[in-house]
Amino acid sequence: MTIGCAGVNTFHELARAGDTVAVPAGWKQTFTKDSITVEIYPSDWSEANQNQIVYAQSDPRIRGVTNAYIDPLSSMVVSRETGQNLTPSAQTYASTMANFFTGPDRDWWQTLVFVDLPATLPTGITEVYIYTGDSLAPTENVSSLLEITTGTGRPHNFEAAVLGPLYDDQFRSIGRVPHYTVTFSGSTLPHAIQVDLSHDPDANNGGVGKAHVVNALGYVKNVAWNDDGTNMRVIITPARESIIQDMLDFKFYVAGGVTNLAVVSVHAFDINGEEIIPVVTATVD
């Protein structure tokens, strides 16, 4: 497996028909159990044969999709944030992640897809192709190769210390829920931002959901927020002076099932507390 957000090789690279494999899918934004399609191309596949096996969205053989976050105490993160190599070439590895995959977004993760292979597969090299959207023009995709060896495999039961074998409900509980992403843009990088948003009434006010704000980078910024059931205010300040390096560092998520989240107003401030003009704008996706 390659490092960090770039991993695209299965654990392990050998499997039997019927085994469960884990496919690192890289830094994926749209992969969930209910959004991905899995196509498995056996070693005897050809254009004439066309014998690929397709798992449609939510197929029970797609066991789960999770995101594994890099340890904030890892050398890659701490070396990146402090500008020193605490282990050999750590800053270089961090720069590679940014240059090839995430750009200025420091919110890194590795998406993992757990898949049960078909019970019958010929031995040899098999391709596992995973995508969202259309197969010919996917929104996101990853392809991984593994060698099918002789023998009869079985799905992994993911035995847990308390819960026992993990089933679909447990897998779904560690996957991402639907959410909004709030990002900012402007010609001047501010020191702090206050954004007011509105949404449909929540469950306490005759509607659905309950707002929950998630700070993507707790070691970069502080996010204080309040929600009264229809209106939300979020105040973002840096964890220390000059640590915010790009507008993407202000990014945060809103989850919890509230609907029709919309921006009402944005106020951005410099380090002296003066409001920045021209104004910073916010986008909800």
Q: Strand, helix or coil at 6?
A: helix
Same domain, 31 and 139: yes
Tens place of pLDDT for every residue, the chain, 285 residues?
344 466 667 767 899 999 999 999 999 999 999 999 999 999 999 999 999 999 999 999 999 999 999 999 999 999 999 999 999 999 999 999 999 999 999 999 999 999 999 999 999 999 999 999 998 899 999 999 999 999 999 988 888 777 778 888 888 888 999 999 999 999 999 999 999 999 999 999 999 999 999 999 999 999 999 999 999 999 999 999 999 999 999 999 999 999 999 999 999 999 999 999 888 999 999
At 2 the pLDDT is 41
At 7 the pLDDT is 66
At 5 the pLDDT is 62
Same domain, 226 and 243: yes
Same domain, 23 and 66: yes
Same domain, 163 and 205: no
Same domain, 256 and 121: no
**Is residue 98 assigned to a domain?**
no
Same domain, 126 and 254: no
Same domain, 166 and 210: no
Looking at 134, 154, 173, the residue that finishes a domain is: 173
Domain membership of residue 18 as a residue range: 4-70+108-173
At 101 the pLDDT is 92
**Is residue 154 assigned to a domain?**
yes
Same domain, 12 and 62: yes
**Is residue 192 assigned to a domain?**
yes
Same domain, 112 and 196: no
Same domain, 158 and 252: no
User: What CATH number is given to the structural domain containing 239?
Assistant: 2.60.40
Looking at 173, 193, 215, the residue that finishes a domain is: 173
> Based on the structure, what is the number of domains in the chain?
2
Same domain, 114 and 39: yes
Q: Is 135:37 a contact under the CB 8 Å cutoff?
A: yes
What gap in Å lies between CA 15 and CA 17, rounded to an integer? 7
